[in-house]
Amino acid sequence: MTALVEDLSRAASSRDIDTIRALCHDLRQPLAAILLLSGSGDGDVGRKMEVITDQARWLSQLVDTVLTDASTDAVQAVDVAELAAMAAERARPTAGCDVTVRAEGHAYAWARPVALGRAVACVLDNAIRAAGAGGHVQVTVEQEPECVHLTIADDGPGLGKVASRTSLGLTTTRAMVAACDGTFDLRSGADAGAEAEICLQSVSRRTGLSTRSGSVAS
């Protein structure tokens, strides 16, 4: 019995460590953006404060979700196009490449907003590093009757040709997408680089909710 309790304790401790490491991984980019923006004397001060506030709000959401063991991050109808645009906006301050978002109208899917935001942020971080200075990252959101596709493509050297800083990025992505009952696929790009795709169940599939017309570009 004592050995069993010790094994369970070690397993719980390992999970806690993994959770903390994954959180630290996700905190790195927003913190870097805040430091960069706060230390720069150039640009629109009001705009910089808006971006810093958004980064701080995102950090707060991440920490709250981990502290409550994700109980506050309930499955709900999420506008994936809007979420992707916000994730790209948070990533731009520290990106050395061009990051654009293409989405036709709104794209509603069932997801946990913080979990999905973490997944998108991780994939964006990898794509931006792969694209490098002067490169390009394209985020595309498309809604079909059954699912919403969120694709992040870069024009970097391709899969396996960019050294990863940690092994946590893709692990966190897969876990966060799974928490949204979605699927994740990583493949070589059509011409160059790599392409990551997150597929989520469309809200319209279950409720008949129609998306509004318009487009989101960033």
Residue type present at position 84: A
**How would residue 217 be classed by pLDDT, with cut points 50, 70 and 90?**
low
Tokens standing for residue 108 = 């509603």
Q: Provide the percentage of residues in the chain whose pLDDT is more than 90.
A: 43
* Rounded mean pLDDT, 102-112: 94
So what's the pLDDT on residue 163?
Answer: 62
**How would residue 84 be classed by pLDDT, with cut points 50, 70 and 90?**
very high
So what's the pLDDT on residue 197?
Answer: 97
Exposure letters 138-157 (e unless 16+ CB within 10 A, then b)? bbbbebeeebbbbbbbbbbe
* Rounded mean pLDDT, 21-34: 76
- What is the tens place of the pLDDT at every residue in 140-150? 999 999 999 99
Tokens standing for residue 145 = 């009757």
Compute the residue count for the chain.
Answer: 218
- What is the tens place of the pLDDT at every residue in 195-208? 999 999 999 755 54
In this predicted structure, the answer to whether residue 180 has a pLDDT above a threshold of 70 is yes
So what's the pLDDT on residue 10?
Answer: 44
* Rounded mean pLDDT, 9-25: 56
In this predicted structure, the answer to whether residue 17 has a pLDDT above a threshold of 80 is no
So what's the pLDDT on residue 55?
Answer: 76
Q: Provide the percentage of residues in the chain whose pLDDT is more than 70.
A: 79
d(CA 17, CA 7): 15
Residue 134, φ and ψ in degrees, nearest 5: 85, 0
